Amino acid sequence: MRKDSTTSRSQSTPQRGAPGGNQCLLPRVIALVAVGAIFGPLGLPAQKSKPREFEVKATYLYNFARFVEWPTTAAAAKNDSFPICVLGQDPFGPALDTIVAGETIGGKAVLAKRVLKPQGAVSCRVLYISSSEETRLREVLAGLDKAAVLTVSDIPQFSQRGGMIQFVQESNKIRFEVNLASAEDAGLTLSSELLKVAVLVRKNSQPGD
């Protein structure tokens, strides 16, 4: 999504300068072109390769939040900030912090938080459950106790196991499944726009698994 913005920038600079082809301006134009050619690629952090998987996922975490409505009674609603939390071993590195930096949702500043225990995640808006927690997933979900927290994870069959949004890989693309019933149980409202782009939307809660 953000790729190659630097390339287009370095091309557009000389194009903008050229039509002013006045004799006395010409040296300055050349200088500008040179400066653009040198600093253009350096002006922004270079991201030549495709965004790495977890950068995309970090962006998705933020974007999921924008399509969800939390109940006003939610514990998280009392916060002044809008925490997006990571439980377990953090796969994002600094990417999540970078992406949410300066963003707001519903007037509240988005910030990334790391939590150690599910109990500590009750006041989060979004909780990413790291694959490291796969073995004790049941505990984690139980610990949240249907708190109004949007749970997201890479853990296989997460959406079948009571999680709300599960990342899936589909032909080199990151997509997701939604368990609408889990979200509704937690009092969350997911926008139809979000459901529209989901690979799969599970509507019935599937107890026992």
Among residue numbers 91 through 110, which ones bind other proteins (CB under 8 A)?
105
Q: Does 11 bind other proteins (CB under 8 A)?
A: no
Helices (H), the chain: 5-17, 26-43, 53-66, 95-100, 137-144, 180-185, 192-196
**CA gap 40, 63 in Å, rounded:** 29
Q: How many residues bind other proteins (CB under 8 A)?
A: 21
- Binding range to other proteins, per CB under 8 A, among 29-37, 83-91, 113-121, 173-181: 173-181
CB 93 within 8 A of CB 146: no
Q: Which two tokens stand for residue 120?
A: 């500590």
Q: Does 66 bind other proteins (CB under 8 A)?
A: yes
- Binding range to other proteins, per CB under 8 A, among 89-97, 115-123, 152-160, 174-182: 174-182
Nearer to other proteins, 27 or 107 (CB): 107
CB of 27 to other proteins, least distance (A): 28
Cross-strand pairs, 151: 127
Query: Which long-range contacts link 12-19 to residues 24+ away (Cβ below 8 Å)?
Result: 13/37, 13/40
Q: Does 52 bind other proteins (CB under 8 A)?
A: no
* Binding-site ranges for other proteins (CB under 8 A): 1-5, 8, 56, 60, 63, 66-67, 105, 173-176, 191, 193-194, 196-197
